[in-house]
Amino acid sequence: MILGVIADDFTGATDVASMLVRAGMHTVQVLGVPDGGLPQADAVVIALKTRTVAPDEAVAQSLEALAALRTAGAKQVYFKYCSTFDSTPKGNIGPVTDALMAALGTDFTIACPAFPENGRTVFRGHLFVGDALLSDSGMRHHPLTPMTDANLVRVLQAQTAHAVGLLRHDALDGGVPAVRERITQLRAEGVKIAVADAVSNAHLLTLADACADLPLLTAGSGVALGLPPAYAQRGWFTPNANAATLERLNGPSAVVSGSCSEATNAQVAQWQTAGRTALLIDPLALHEGRQTASTVLAQATAALAQGPVLVYATAAPESVRAVQAALGVQAAGALVEHALAHIAHGLVACGVRRLVVAGGETSGAVVQALGVQQLRIGAPICPGVPWTQAHLPGQGGTVQLALKSGNFGGVDFFAQALRQAGVDL
Ligand code: ADP
């Protein structure tokens, strides 16, 4: 193993794995630290769910993941967080970084959430979402990690005992030697974590090359794009043009959607406009027993003979608010996740081999219900969302999953994903 990644959430793990595969690294994602040791691959991504848990818990789980990666021989460790730097003054980016640095015995690392292809750029230490500062973006209203300061040096400094500095864009423009020189200066000044600017993929490639020998990197998924070429240049591996190739599976296909984000609402509407089968899950009807997951599953499996089926709870914000007011936010979420996970499990049991899932939490629930332990990562459908493949010993073998977090993907994402997996649509 060359690279070991510790990701702080599930769809973020798939995102970073997708970047590595795209650049030719054979990559496997595991869900949590497996009991029997890590699989063989150029890169292994351990997906945790530590973004918003208590800092102590995030640190403990991250250290356990680190120990597994070191046992498997990882040359470099990468702590992957969100491209909007989701965290609070308590953490968890700072505390986890500090703990990983201590465990690895290193006194310097970088912090770079930039992902320019998805509109996340860092300039003079300030994070932009599209043309807006992070603090002016929708992230300022996030229920768990409201981001009200775009100055990442200040944001990170509040979370760590280490001195935080800035690796500015002009050093990146100067190429690898200039970045190395700047890092030497920063270290001499006592800086232990440098927030790195990046406004383009060229910056990410330079940064990755200059930092490929550091024991620890901390970043969003963008920096991962530059690592495979940097490793190849060092003779550590040969990029494989087929790293993203998954076998072609036959059999029915389906879409399960529990995301209520704007992008997913548009994708569900587009599927219906195209005249394809769509079955609605109504949380209030479920709650009152007027609808059951089993009856919807039976309808869905009956419809599979005519082509791919969408089962969705996706709804507009007013309707979600009404459901939440009636049932409570947590209870409504859990009710829908449970129903969709049951349906996804039933569809796979009935032979579905290509399944698209929309929603981060929904994906977590589905993957758990299917008993997925590891995912092989295939080709991207859109930036951040690859096809993946899981082996399900109890359920007839292999299934391919596309796990889409809420706001990703174009309006025709569902059909696009299925066509890419060989479905005739
Ligand atoms: P996203 O990636 O868009 O945030 P998630 O799956 O992470 O999507 O979160 C969506 C949450 O909303 C889930 O907990 C899901 O069960 C819940 N949900 C889905 N549909 C409805 C609905 N109609 N009413 C209330 N909650 C819903």
| Bridge partners (DSSP) listed for residue 190 | none
Ligand 1 atom closest to 281 (CA): 23
10 Å CB burial of residue 395 (0-12, 13-18, 19+) is middle
- In this structure, the answer to whether residues 209 and 310 fall within a common structural domain is no
- In this structure, the answer to whether residues 150 and 52 fall within a common structural domain is yes
Q: Please give the distance, rounded to the nearest whole angstrom, from the Cα atom of residue 219 to the centre of ligand 1.
A: 27
- In this structure, the answer to whether residues 158 and 21 fall within a common structural domain is yes
| pTM tops 0.95, yes or no | no
Q: Encoding tokens for residue 407?
A: 């706001």
| pLDDT, position 118 | 86
pLDDT tens profile 273-294: 999 999 999 999 999 999 999 9
| pLDDT, position 172 | 98
Q: Is the CB of 258 under 6 A from ligand 1?
A: yes
- Average pLDDT estimate for 339-354: 97
Ligand 1 atom closest to 320 (CA): 24
| Bridge partners (DSSP) listed for residue 127 | 122
Mean pLDDT of the chain: 95
- One DSSP character per residue, 341-377 reads HHHHHHHHHTT--EEEEE-HHHHHHHHHHHT--EEEE
Q: Please give the distance, rounded to the nearest whole angstrom, from the Cα atom of residue 383 to the centre of ligand 1.
A: 22
Q: Please give the distance, rounded to the nearest whole angstrom, from the Cα atom of residue 355 to the centre of ligand 1.
A: 18
- In this structure, the answer to whether residues 136 and 179 fall within a common structural domain is yes
The amino acid present at 169, given as its one-letter code, is: H
Please state which of the ranges 30-39, 67-76, 163-172, 189-198 shows the lowest mean pLDDT.
30-39
- In this structure, the answer to whether residues 260 and 394 fall within a common structural domain is yes
pLDDT value at 166 more than 80:
yes
User: Structural domain tally of the chain?
Assistant: 2
Q: Is the CB of 259 under 6 A from ligand 1?
A: yes
pLDDT value at 349 more than 90:
yes
Contact 124, 136 (CB under 8 A): no
pLDDT tens profile 378-387: 999 998 899 9
Q: Please give the distance, rounded to the nearest whole angstrom, from the Cα atom of residue 260 to the centre of ligand 1.
A: 5
- In this structure, the answer to whether residues 54 and 82 fall within a common structural domain is yes
pLDDT value at 376 more than 90:
yes
pLDDT value at 298 more than 80:
yes
Per-state percent for the chain, helix, strand, coil, to nearest 5: 45, 20, 35
Alpha-carbon span 275 to 273, nearest angstrom: 5
pLDDT tens profile 245-275: 999 999 999 999 999 888 899 999 999 999 9
Beta strands 132-133 and 164-167, pairing class: unpaired
pLDDT tens profile 220-253: 999 999 999 999 999 999 999 899 999 999 999 9
Ligand 1 atom closest to 315 (CA): 23
* Burial letters 105-132, b for 16+ CB under 10 A, else e: eeebbbbbbbbbebebbbbebbbbbeee
Beta strands 109-112 and 3-7, pairing class: unpaired
Dihedral angle over CA of 142, 146, 150, 155, nearest 10: -150
CA distances from 5 to 27, 43, 92, 267, 269 (A): 10, 8, 16, 31, 36
Ligand 1 atom closest to 324 (CA): 25
Let me know if residue 425 belongs to a domain.
Answer: no
Let me know if residue 246 belongs to a domain.
Answer: no
- In this structure, the answer to whether residues 298 and 209 fall within a common structural domain is no
Q: Is the CB of 405 under 6 A from ligand 1?
A: yes
Report the percentage of the chain scoring pLDDT > 90: 87
Q: Residue 132: CB partners within 8 Å, gap ≥ 6?
A: none
Please, which pLDDT band fits residue 104 given cuts at 50, 70 and 90? Answer: very high
Instruction: State the CATH number of the domain containing residue 389.
Output: 3.40.980.20
Phi, psi of 165 (to 5 degrees): -125, -170
Instruction: State the CATH number of the domain containing residue 66.
Output: 3.40.50.10840
Q: Is the CB of 362 under 6 A from ligand 1?
A: yes
Q: Please give the distance, rounded to the nearest whole angstrom, from the Cα atom of residue 314 to the centre of ligand 1.
A: 7
Let me know if residue 215 belongs to a domain.
Answer: yes
- In this structure, the answer to whether residues 192 and 290 fall within a common structural domain is no
Alpha-carbon span 369 to 383, nearest angstrom: 26
Contact 390, 399 (CB under 8 A): yes
DSSP annotation of 199 = S
pLDDT value at 143 more than 70:
no
pLDDT value at 72 more than 70:
yes
- In this structure, the answer to whether residues 124 and 200 fall within a common structural domain is yes
- Structural domain of 398: 253-420
Contact 14, 388 (CB under 8 A): yes
Please, which pLDDT band fits residue 338 given cuts at 50, 70 and 90? Answer: very high
Contact 306, 278 (CB under 8 A): no
Name the residue with the closest Cα to ligand 1, atom 19: 258
